[in-house]
Structure 1
Amino acid sequence: MLRYPDGAERRCYLAWDGRAGDPSRMPYFERETAILAALSGPYHGSGVTVAPLVGTFPSHLALLSEFVSGNDRFPQAEDKAALARAFVGQLAALHRLDARNPAFAALGDATEPPASRIRANIAQWQRTNLSAGADPIYQVALAWLARNVPPDRGPAVVLHGDAGPGNFLFNGNEIAALVDWELTHLGDPMEDLAQIWVRSLIQPFVPMADVFAAYEAASGQPVDLARVKYHRLYFQLSFSVPSAALASGEGSSIGATGTGLLYGTMHKRVIVQSVAQLAGIAVTDPELPLCEPDWTDRFFATALADLRDDIVPAAGNQRAAAKAKELARLVKFWRMRASHGAAFDAAELAEIRALMPSAPANLKGARAALAEAIAADAVDFAAAVQLCHNRVVRETAIMADAMGGLATTWYEDLD
């Protein structure tokens, strides 16, 4: 509760980033501050609802806003279709704002064509990946993106940057506030629609055909399906590559959790499947060897049974229970790696060296060599896609028991 000198009180919400000592977080803070200030001030009443900004504390990367009550769990909505239309209508209103206004200066250069910014980002992500663990899965996707940047359809607009279920609050069929603005930027309006589609892989939403129809009705602009599909892949790379680079640091624990493995495996599979589909490349599943578990398997089974039957039910708080479930995912991963890891690694290494005989004789080095060859356009692209597909099929098999439906989740067919 914020109390003023005259005794007036205002219920507020304080949000802060625990990484305040990391200078790389400041641009995210500045963008979120700028958009909230604009939508709370000169653009209040523009049709985009946010929690009004009260104050900022840059030294702590903290934002103070008015408290807005609302539910963020879309599956609990009473009328999902009506709520989705209201949300998409707010995105259309956001895209109509004048990106040239100085209020949005922190979001980017409004005179820069979206395609130019996209090319610059892709080039940066390629360099980032090559310098930090060079992964052929990301390089094959970035190579396709770089060769197929869609021509600009208009000037850059203001984007949410992470639009979709979970990032808005609602009461009934009304939007209470759009939240989580740290990825806001200027760009192609189809990006926000693509983000909804990617987020719906994990968080259920209404059919994308309904989303597109709502956007066309609210914006008066046609949805370009091919462009949205491009931006689905572009959006996935925008967070996957930086996250992988951070995880590759020596001693890093980033991504080394059951949830990190689960979602990382899912996104890699979808990335490769997207590249194959967008490039018109027919891939075939590799044959997976039948690997029998050895004498250690019963210890994994005991650990999983203890977690399921004793530890989780007896957990004294929600955090402890969540951590136990995280550990169960890791045990399931270790169990499959113990029985299948060596065979899968040997198969992948043999495939890379068959395509590139000069590749190193160890898997890490061979993957890096393949990634560098893809970046240099020195290897057959379709063959590289097939090898990446083989790898994600094997990695998904390792994680399948922990992934459930995420092992097969895919975008709805709108063609």
Structure 2
Amino acid sequence: MEGTAEARIVAWIEAHLGRVIRIERQPRWRPAWFVDVDHDGALLPLYVRGDREGMEGSVPVSLEAGILERLEAAGVPVPHVYGMIDEASAVVMDRLPGRANLATADSDAARGAIMDHYMDVLAVIHARDTAEFTPLGFPVPADAEALALVNFERFERRYRPTKRRPEPLLEFGIQWLHRNVPRHRYDPRFILGDPAQFMFEGDRLTGLLDVELAHIGDIAHDLAGLRLRTIPEPLGDIGRALRRYEAASGQPLDRVAIEFHTAQFSLATPMSLVGELHAPRAVPETLQYLEWFHQYALTGIEAIAAIIGVDLPPVTLPEPAPGRHAGIADALPDTIGDLTAGDADAAYRRDATARTARFAQRAAIFGPGIEAANLDDIAAMTGVRHPDWQSGDAALEAFVLAAGPDRDAALVALFHARTMRQMLLLEPVLNRTSRIEHLIPLAELLD
């Protein structure tokens, strides 16, 4: 282990906190470790969280540590930070008790109580003076437009240099969001940026997790984020949670702003993943990135459709067209899945690779029909039939960049159909939900 990140972590902890009894890499898409320490004869459970790997412009864990320290000082339940390990680009913090996924709550009543507690905590965070956080480098947006787009424009700046091919849906979303900012709102607050990540035990929070996307922005961003977080990790009754926040904070729910921020929050995710998908690395998470890309492109388009009043008809996959060697591809996922894995991390990599092989098998069968349907849609929109998806996407992006608001409804319908085809292709290999998730309309949540 000498010379590795784990060796540096062990050395730092033993120099500052006590003897390391156990260190275990968490099997996930970013470097993190569970560490048990003998601290003056008592067990001290720690969590060591490293910087994201290979994702340009990611927030360093040193900034996240600063946020946690300020929230702890304000009485917000968060893990205590013991320090930074500069040599490993990692922060050492308490390992919170409990578990993280509300789908595993003991009952619906417990889930509701936990979310009540969370919304009360969120109201407390939003009430903090932004001056507490500006020393960390967070700017206070100057006006309503800057406030609405502060998070989105950060992702847009990261997206531009990583883009290697046309992304017509994202270019449409960027234009639409800039044209449709809720200019009636200007109330800068410190917000979490990626809300509803926490540990819980029984019917109470034990602490917040993952505050790396926190910034000074509009509280509607965090409220919109609940609608998106419940996709991978069901949070229960989101309408109840929003009403709880309204009561706890005294802030009326602005539905227009929440819908706008649902769109911008959604579309920030695929923008952040373009680099990983345009130039994939040899990592097991690529299929997960593809899933996130299309799932949140879908919710972004659904939010825009809700704002402008576009009905989105059902979409189906084209007929399958198996190739000559389809049988070999059919056998590959199970072949990979049967491989022996020596530890949890190896099992994670094996299983992710097997899922990727299953997706590749489906893409070989359905891909040509999907691209033909997409080219049909582009021809209907632009009047020109293109020979392949590359030239079609380039033409569609050029069309989007030249189009005015009068084309918004037609483009929303087109992008919804394109995205749904990709989601239907992915559906059998979706990681957490095993089904395509759609936005629940705000009226249905709140009325």
Same fold (TM over 0.5): yes
Of 371, 392, 399, 1:373 maps to 399
- Structure 2 residue 251 is the aligned partner of structure 1 residue 221: yes
Aligned ranges for residues 55-70 of structure 1 at < 5 Å?
55-58=83-86, 60-70=88-98
Of 259, 263, 276, 2:292 maps to 263
- Structure 2 residue 70 is the aligned partner of structure 1 residue 38: yes
Deviation track 1:253-284 (CA, whole Å, cap 9, x = no partner) reads 57863333333332233333332232212344
Aligned ranges for residues 384-403 of structure 1 at < 5 Å?
384-403=411-430
Hey, what does 1:206 align to over in structure 2?
Answer: 236
Pick which of 184-193 and 391-400 moved more: 391-400
- Structure 2 residue 128 is the aligned partner of structure 1 residue 100: no
Percent sequence identity over matched residues? Answer: 23
Hey, what does 1:82 align to over in structure 2?
Answer: 113
Pick which of 179-188 and 275-284 moved more: 275-284
- Structure 2 residue 46 is the aligned partner of structure 1 residue 13: yes
Q: Post-superposition shift, 1:231?
A: 1.1
Hey, what does 2:27 align to over in structure 1?
Answer: none
Q: Post-superposition shift, 1:66?
A: 3.8
Q: Post-superposition shift, 1:355?
A: 2.7
State how far apart, in whole Å, the 1-side matches of 2:370 and 2:100 are: 40
State how far apart, in whole Å, the 2-side matches of 1:80 and 1:288 are: 36
Paired amino acid for 2:298: R
State how far apart, in whole Å, the 1-side matches of 2:184 and 2:41 are: 48
Alpha-carbon distance change, 22 to 32 in structure 1, aligned in 2, over 3 angstroms: same
User: What SS does the aligned partner of 1:394 have?
Assistant: helix
Deviation track 1:234-269 (CA, whole Å, cap 9, x = no partner) reads 1122222021134324x6457863333333332233
Hey, what does 1:277 align to over in structure 2?
Answer: 306
Of 212, 216, 220, 1:182 maps to 212
Hey, what does 1:343 align to over in structure 2?
Answer: 369
Q: Post-superposition shift, 1:120?
A: 5.7
Alpha-carbon distance change, 175 to 119 in structure 1, aligned in 2, over 3 angstroms: closer
Aligned ranges for residues 116-265 of structure 1 at < 5 Å?
116-119=146-149, 122=152, 132=163, 133-164=165-196, 167-249=197-279, 252-253=281-282, 257-265=286-294
Paired amino acid for 1:95: H
Alpha-carbon distance change, 381 to 94 in structure 1, aligned in 2, over 3 angstroms: same
State how far apart, in whole Å, the 2-side matches of 1:106 and 1:413 are: 36
Contact conserved, 2:105 with 2:202, CA < 8 A, in 1?
yes
Hey, what does 2:346 align to over in structure 1?
Answer: 320
Aligned ranges for residues 397-412 of structure 1 at < 5 Å?
397-403=424-430, 406-412=434-440
CA RMSD of aligned residues (A): 3.2
Q: Post-superposition shift, 1:15?
A: 2.3
- Structure 2 residue 382 is the aligned partner of structure 1 residue 356: yes
Pick which of 264-273 and 187-196 moved more: 264-273
Q: Post-superposition shift, 1:110?
A: 2.9
Contact conserved, 1:169 with 1:175, CA < 8 A, in 2?
yes
User: How many pairs align?
Assistant: 401
Paired amino acid for 2:420: V
Query: Higher relative CO (CA 8 A, sep ≥ 6), structure 1 or 2?
Result: 1
Q: Post-superposition shift, 1:144?
A: 2.2
Contact conserved, 1:247 with 1:255, CA < 8 A, in 2?
no
- Structure 2 residue 139 is the aligned partner of structure 1 residue 109: yes
Pick which of 212-221 and 82-91 moved more: 212-221
User: What SS does the aligned partner of 1:13 have?
Assistant: strand
